[in-house]
Amino acid sequence: IDRSGLDITTLELPLEIIPLEENMFLVPSPRCFSRCFIQNDINDIYTIARSLLKLQLFTGGVERTFYAGEMSQRVFTLLEQMKNQCGYSNFKDPQFDDIFIIDRTVDLVTPLASQFYYGGLLDDLFDYEYGYFKLPFGIEIQDQPDTTEVLFSDLNDDNFKVLRGMSVADTSQHFTDQLALIQKVLSDL
């Protein structure tokens, strides 16, 4: 860099919020539980509060915030202090009414619970890796009977994008609606 002769400006871009999908993000804080409770380190709490602040700057300030647990209360307090420093006029109209902050001291069971949405059930019940889905025993594709794996749908597939986060009951209604739409198109043709 020194020898290039180019004028280089260094900027910091901390990825406190890593977008995974349209409405899903990750705040990277590995070993957060251990650092907060064993080492008494609050850096992760600050990171989480700052991430929630950035999220609200993008999506608008939230009307009400609920928290459960000592660490969640600390996150809430830091978040309110940061909002106050930013100035409430910097927040757009909220896209969300409420935000819930729940820490693991209050809820240790949820991460161990089964996933009750469509994509989660597929993930739990069937073995798919890197987008490839191994067909369960006894199921075959009629066009290609020798196929044992298929490429699983990704977020470019509109149906998978919609179904992935739905509960199983909602997927049933979605399929019923789609079949009715297909029947209408066929009858119109």
pLDDT at 143: 76
Highest mean pLDDT, choosing among 32-36, 47-51, 121-125, 154-158: 47-51
Mean pLDDT, rounded, for 73-86: 91
Mean pLDDT, rounded, for 117-131: 65
56 contacts: CB under 8 Å, gap ≥ 6: 62, 83, 91, 94
Q: Is the pTM for the entire model greater than 0.75?
A: no
CA distance 146 to 21: 34
CA distance 115 to 117: 6
User: pLDDT, tens digit, for every residue of 85-96?
Assistant: 888 777 878 777
Q: What is the DSSP letter of 32?
A: H
Rg (CA), the chain: 23
pLDDT at 188: 92
User: Residue 142: pLDDT above 80?
Assistant: no
